[in-house]
Amino acid sequence: MPGFASSGDQKRPVRLLTAALSSGNLPHALLFTGIEGIGKKTTAMAFAMACNCFNLHEGYQTKQPDAEITEPTHIEPCGQCRSCKKIISGNHPDIILLQPSGAMIKVDQIRALCSKLVLKPYEASKRFVIITDAQKLNLEAGNTLLKTLEEPPEHTVFILTALQAADILPTIVSRCQQIRFNPIPFHSLQTYIEKNHGLGASDASVIASMSQGSFTRAESMMKPTWINKRNWIIDELEALPTRSINLCLAFSEVLSKNKGWLLPAFEIMKNWFRDIVIYNYAPERIINKDLSAQINIAAKKTTINVLILKIKAIDKAEREINANSNIRLTLDSLMLTLSKG
Ligand SMILES: [Zn+2]
């Protein structure tokens, strides 16, 4: 599904971009900001496609997945013409995608880009330069890019994407029109998960809640074992107060060996205790909706004060590990705190 329809229901950005296209008044440089995995790059590609499509047509965005749609809300590229097909296959010579090489975007990458921009576009009416993760421009690369932005080449639109404008050189930001992207609405994400991964409404709802509006987070949870891992972590957490110290430390040992899983595991733990806190007041707001019976039982066995202490202890462990403290020692200490009933 090429075009704006794949942008994850980013209504406002799509409206602003298609209005600029309709008016024929395209900005030289745009900065798309927002958390990872919410369709910034996809929308940039859709915009490049729309600006060069030979057969633009009307498109629709809906409030709810099953809501009736009557009025077109924006314009869409066709996805079928020569230009669209080249962009979709990544073979359009005038749609230039620049991504970090390793941890940074280096000055050599920007210099190579600038030497291409001296020439006229090969075939596009509008050439696009899409720079993703622009917060990774190092200082030299940023300053080199700035010179180009100050004297922009003809028929060229720059789109930078970043988590937030504050991470980028202010002189670059001031050259760009900023468009903020919001997290994907819950229902859009749930529908996406149901359609693309064949999950039932209940499981899709849990994944959509936990991914906090990010396609990328949802995708990483979608690996078939995610629900199993969540269940395992929650079962272990609930068993901790009845376990010997050795068994509590065994849990932290297993977690410490799966470093890629540590941050998701912390999220799962905090969401679990948070669900127990709010269950008695607002049961409709729990995240682990499929576990409401288990949450009900857990809520009867503890107090809010104990739960808040546990959530704070997880936050503290997370901060310490992010600051490079010893993972095993931090987790051991956390498990001993969480084992107090
Ligand atoms: Zn087209």
Report if residue 213 sits inside a domain. Answer: no
pLDDT, tens digit, 9 for 90 and up, residues 117-161: 999 999 999 999 999 999 999 999 999 999 999 999 999 999 999
Distance 215 CA to ligand 1 centre (A): 25
Same domain (yes/no): 233, 326:
yes
Distance 44 CA to ligand 1 centre (A): 15
Helix (H, G, I), strand (E, B) or coil at 181: coil
SS3 content of the chain, % helix, strand, coil (to 5): 55, 10, 35
Report if residue 97 sits inside a domain. Answer: yes
- Provide the residues around ligand 1 (an ion) whose CB is within 5 A: 53, 77-78, 81, 84
Same domain (yes/no): 30, 176:
yes
* Mean pLDDT of the 105-120 span: 94
Same domain (yes/no): 146, 229:
no
Task: Compute the Cα dihedral for 14, 15, 16, 21 and give only its sign.
Answer: positive
**Token pair belonging to 5:** 């329809």
Distance 143 CA to ligand 1 centre (A): 35
Same domain (yes/no): 237, 160:
no
**Token pair belonging to 197:** 């991964």
Same domain (yes/no): 256, 173:
no
Distance 190 CA to ligand 1 centre (A): 29
- The domain boundary residue, chosen from 180, 210, 237: 180
For the CA atoms of the chain, what is the radius of gyration? 24
Same domain (yes/no): 10, 155:
yes
pLDDT at 200: 83
Report if residue 289 sits inside a domain. Answer: yes
Same domain (yes/no): 78, 158:
yes
Distance 59 CA to ligand 1 centre (A): 13
Output the domain CATH number for residue 238: 1.20.272
pLDDT, tens digit, 9 for 90 and up, residues 242-277: 888 888 887 888 788 777 788 889 999 999 999 999
Report if residue 283 sits inside a domain. Answer: yes
**CB of 255 closer than 8 Å to CB of 247:** no
Same domain (yes/no): 288, 174:
no
Is 65 a residue whose pLDDT tops 50? no
Same domain (yes/no): 233, 154:
no
Report if residue 313 sits inside a domain. Answer: yes
Report if residue 24 sits inside a domain. Answer: yes
Distance 98 CA to ligand 1 centre (A): 23
Domain range for 79 is 4-180
Distance 168 CA to ligand 1 centre (A): 33
Same domain (yes/no): 176, 227:
no
Distance 85 CA to ligand 1 centre (A): 7
Rounded CA separation 222/200 (Å): 13
The DSSP string of 320-339 is HHHTT--HHHHHHHHHHHHT
Q: Which of 69-73, 179-183, 198-202, 252-256 has the lowest mean pLDDT?
A: 69-73
Distance 3 CA to ligand 1 centre (A): 9
Exposure string over 230-254, b if 16+ CB within 10 A, otherwise e? beebbebbeebeeeeeeebbebbee
Report if residue 215 sits inside a domain. Answer: no
Domains: count for the chain? 2
Distance 8 CA to ligand 1 centre (A): 20
Whole-model pTM? 0.70
- The domain boundary residue, chosen from 180, 209, 243: 180
Average model confidence (pLDDT) for the chain?
Answer: 89
Is 285 a residue whose pLDDT tops 70? yes
Distance 13 CA to ligand 1 centre (A): 20
Give the length of the chain: 341
Same domain (yes/no): 148, 227:
no
Is 41 a residue whose pLDDT tops 80? yes
Distance 83 CA to ligand 1 centre (A): 6
Same domain (yes/no): 176, 52:
yes
More confident residue, 340 or 82: 82
Output the domain CATH number for residue 24: 3.40.50.300
Distance 2 CA to ligand 1 centre (A): 10
Which residues neighbour 97 within 8 Å (Cβ) at sequence distance 6 or greater? 90, 130, 132
pLDDT at 63: 47
User: How many whole angstroms from its chain centre is CA 155?
Assistant: 30
- The domain boundary residue, chosen from 180, 206, 231: 180
Which amino acid would we find at residue 294?
Q
Report if residue 201 sits inside a domain. Answer: no
